[in-house]
Amino acid sequence: MNSIESLELSLDDFDPARRAAALDALIGAAERGEVALPAQGRAHNLHSHTFFSFNGYGYSPSGFAWRARRAGLFAAGIVDFDVLDGVDEFLAAAGRLGLRACAGIETRVFIPEFDGREINSPGEPGIAYHMGVGFGSSRAAQPEMLDGFKASAQERNRGVVERVNAFLDPVRVDYVRDVLPLTPKGNATERHLCAAYDFAAQRAIPEADARAAFWSGKLGRPAGEIERLFASPPDFQALIRAKTMKQGGPGYVPARSDAFPLLVDVNRFTLACGAIPTIAWLDGCSAGEAALDELFAVHHAAGSAALNIIPERNWNIADPGQRRTKVANLHAVVEAARKNHFPVIVGTEMNAHGQRFVDDFDAPELAPFLDDFEKGAYIVHGHTRLLAAGLGYTSVWAARHFAGPAEKNEFYAEAGRRIAPGAAPLQKGEDPAPGEVLAGLA
């Protein structure tokens, strides 16, 4: 392993001081020409989870920012489940690396208008994954609500552990001792639980053949297949999750509407932080997502103003029939976003091993939308950089100065093009006109 590779590993250390030192050293190496940073094209990823929730490769906020710049991305963004812990670190790292950037949060909400219809959380009618995009700080305007997101998720995890411990006995995990140390600030996910069970079984049953036999009996797969999966821990841990924690598994905890915050309340929190409430789109195959006009109307009434898409889920499908259906749904939802003037924000999640680092924007299925995706990246970057001056996308200033969302989108897209990553924060004048703001950015 050379020194650059060693520094890149240190970027993902749980110790923030080691991450900071590694980033300093890597930027210095790039400035000396020891590391090539390629020209930036149109590719971007505005939806990567980090190790503050779960990243399939263990990337920290700084680690993702560095790798995004090394890959030639022009913009990057993070979103973690239920926390804002990585926002400050990521925005600072992206600015130093010359990346346009945004940061957000993802959680699950209850939407009463869709009670009885599945939306984007499989098997859970009325429950939806939902996002806020364009936070400017790790500090929340309503910290008690942010604490509630995390506490609710951790309570659900503890319920899963209780059930799975009973099913896998004598292989058991202690949530505090075995699970929480796998994540930097105690925001464990189901994927952390699966890793903890994998490690616990290795401790309890050291012999690979005996351990494979144990898992075969619990997971219902041939022992030989399971022993081969031991060579790929992420794939094996995904099997544990599928068989023990998802719907039909012994650890599955059915969603209850009263266990999740209301969409309107999460949007109120997001707006209080100056960020943009954002629809999270899956693939259009559920009853809720098939009702596009109603879905957008409900979200618009609740304050949502942007759309997030994971393109990979909508075109890179092996089955030709499913592929045609999902590509048609992708066309429909982008057209709905255009009609409603919702900026479109895209990325690849990275919350499971094997997911690609950046979308294939040259794929024929995605090429027609690249202008929409790129504009969304400029809008959210422009918003993020203007937020500290009180000029963000959802600000009182914006409501006062723009006649409608189309005009607002053009302003923030142009601001995003003009504001260089890492530029000094804009100093707000006395209620400047949008033209004056743009003139000051030229």
330: domain CATH number?
3.20.20.140
Whether pLDDT at 323 is above 80:
yes
Q: How many domains does the chain have?
A: 3
Does residue 265 sit within a domain? no
User: Is pLDDT of 429 > 80?
Assistant: no
Same domain membership, residue 183 and residue 214: yes
Say if residues 11 and 63 touch (Cβ distance below 8 Å): yes
Q: Are residues 32 and 45 in the same domain?
A: no
The answer to whether 392 touches 425, Cβ cutoff 8 Å, is no
What pLDDT sits at residue 1?
67
Q: What is the mean pLDDT of residues 346-361?
A: 94
In this structure, the answer to whether residues 168 and 227 fall within a common structural domain is yes
Q: Examine the pLDDT at 128 and tell me if it is beyond 90.
A: yes
The mean pLDDT value for 306-323 works out to: 95
Sheet holding 306-309, edge to edge: 44-48, 75-81, 100-110, 127-133, 276-281, 306-309, 344-346
Average of per-residue pLDDT across 86-112: 97
Q: Are residues 287 and 430 in the same domain?
A: yes
pTM of the shown model = 0.96
Same domain, 101 and 230: no
**Is 90 exceeded by the pLDDT of residue 423?**
no
Average pLDDT over residues 180-193: 96
pLDDT over 90 at 26, yes or no:
yes
The domain containing residue 219 runs over which residues? 149-244
Question: Residue 422's pLDDT is what?
Answer: 84
Letter string b/e over residues 320-338, b meaning 16 or more CB atoms within 10 A of that residue's CB:
eeeeebbbebbeebbebbe
Do 341 and 399 belong together in one domain? yes
Q: Which of 66, 47, 50, 68 is nearest to 58 (CA)?
A: 50
Say if residue 42 is in the same domain as residue 30.
Answer: no
CA-to-CA distance for 91 and 72, rounded, in angstroms?
Answer: 17
376 is a domain residue: yes
Question: What does the buried/exposed string (b/e) look like for 417-439 if buried means 16 or more CB atoms within 10 Å of the residue's CB?
Answer: bbbebbeeebeeeeebebeebbe
